[in-house]
Amino acid sequence: MEGILAFFRDFLKEPALLMGLMAFVGLVALRKPAHKVMSGTLKPILGYLMLGAGADFIVSNLNPLGEMIQKGFNISGVIPNNEAIVSVAQKVLGVETMSILVVGLIANLVVARFTKFKYIFLTGHHSFFMACLLSAVLQTAGFEGWTLILIGGAFLGLISAILPAIGQKYTLKVTDGDEVAMGHFGSLAYYASAWIGGKVGNPDNSTEKMEIPEKWSFLRDTTISTALTMMVFYLIAAIASGSEFVATLSGGQNMILFALMSAMKFAVGVTVVYAGVRMILGDLLPAFQGIATKVIPDAIPAVDCAVFFTYAPTAVVIGFVSSFIGGVIGMLLLGVAGGVLIIPGLVPHFFCGATAGIYGNATGGKRGAAVGAFVNGLLITFIPALLLPVLGDLGFQNTTFGDFDFGIIGIAIGKLYEFLGSTGVIALLALLVIAVIVPSFMKTKSKVINNAYDDGEAM
């Protein structure tokens, strides 16, 4: 029995396999011939593995950059990192996390089938991270055993359907009507970026329409512009940290060469991500029509944030840089206030900052991308600091969850328990249940919450 549970746990943690399974079900529902079912199932899997390989390559080259920045500028504190905090939590909450993950996926499918929240959350590793957060905060709140698992699973299933819906009107602007949703637990910060973008800028001044003189036209190549931007980051960090320290990271390679090669490898990783995204979208969306028409009517896939990178590649670079600057300023403000220093984690600032830049650009063009991503950088600095005490003993491991939604969910549950006890947590869960049920009895323009799209405007 334990082996079967471990198999399901590992399966559900793999977004590539979840996408492949959904594509398979959709293609079978459309009664496609066997050879098209096979290729249509494999391509989203291979595309996501390509995306993951690119992301891993990016992370492996960002880590030494982070170490050089900490050494060169003498910074010490807490570095938000989802994988690190999850690895700590699994030592004491492994069974609970696995069980919440399974219950949460089932709850998400039930909500998608029977309500107007038709979003199916396909980013399995983020579902796993959220299950881990829920197991930690609910245990701190006094829940245990099956009560903890059922409440945690219900929370996971509900927020997996609700969070993509909240900002779907912005997501439709990003994708120009492609029916995918945001399936990443940094989403509330992305929607905030889009809202801010609409206040400070003009979508007609898109980052993708930037006028570049002929002699600088090579900057239109995303790989080249990303490489050049990152070369500046790496060279400054390497020079600040010194050749002796860089040698411990580079295996003795010349400091300047290591910085330049790392920057170019980073750019290659981004390019691999783009290639994987194109493969995913090319086959997942047509296959998903089978689920949307035959299995769960009007279902919409909620996918990883990196899937949106191809919609505005220039905004990716602007968003990363702006978010990182916001993180540095946020860290300095925490230091002045006497709080725990949250060191800007380059991984969340790249993936979340880039996505915030894309959303800000969709509503506010260049200015929206820069300002929205800057605010994202502040948010993913302050919120992890507030989350630390809510995590109890797990919060004293010099790490915490890095993405915005984790902090909001964890703080909400923790504070409700602090002021109202377990009744407050149950009340929050009841409110979420009501939130997904009530719209099903209301007449709306679309059969799916926040998915109306008319003449280029999200409704």
Which amino acid belongs to residue 160?
S
Work out the widest C-alpha separation in the chain, in whole angstroms: 67
pLDDT at 373: 97
- Rounded-to-integer distance, Cα 124 and Cα 143, Å: 24
Q: 24, 267 in Cβ contact below 8 A? A: no
Can you tell me whether residue 122 is helix, strand or coil? coil
**Domains of the chain: which residue ranges?**
2-450
Q: Strands 457-458, 453-454: parallel, antiparallel or unpaired by DSSP?
A: antiparallel
Q: Could you tell me the two tokens for 331?
A: 């860290």
pLDDT at 249: 92
CA distances from 373 to 324, 369, 377 (A): 9, 6, 6
pLDDT at 180: 92
User: Which DSSP category does 342 fall into?
Assistant: B
Q: Which H or E run includes 266?
A: helix 255-290
pLDDT at 206: 94
- Rounded-to-integer distance, Cα 343 and Cα 399, Å: 10
Beta strands in 322-459 (DSSP E): 453-454, 457-458
DSSP letter string, 369-400: HHHHHHHHHHHHHHHHHHHGGGGGGGGGSS--
Q: Name residue 302's beta-bridge partners.
A: 121, 181
Can you tell me whether residue 248 is helix, strand or coil? helix
Q: 186, 305 in Cβ contact below 8 A? A: yes
Q: 344, 77 in Cβ contact below 8 A? A: no
Closest of 249, 250, 330 to residue 78, by C-alpha: 330
pTM: 0.84
Residues 6+ apart with CB under 8 A from 88: 394, 397, 399
Given a cut of 70, the residues of the chain with pLDDT beneath it are 1-2, 5, 9, 88, 90-92, 212-220, 392-399, 453-459
- Rounded-to-integer distance, Cα 38 and Cα 175, Å: 27
Q: 107, 156 in Cβ contact below 8 A? A: yes
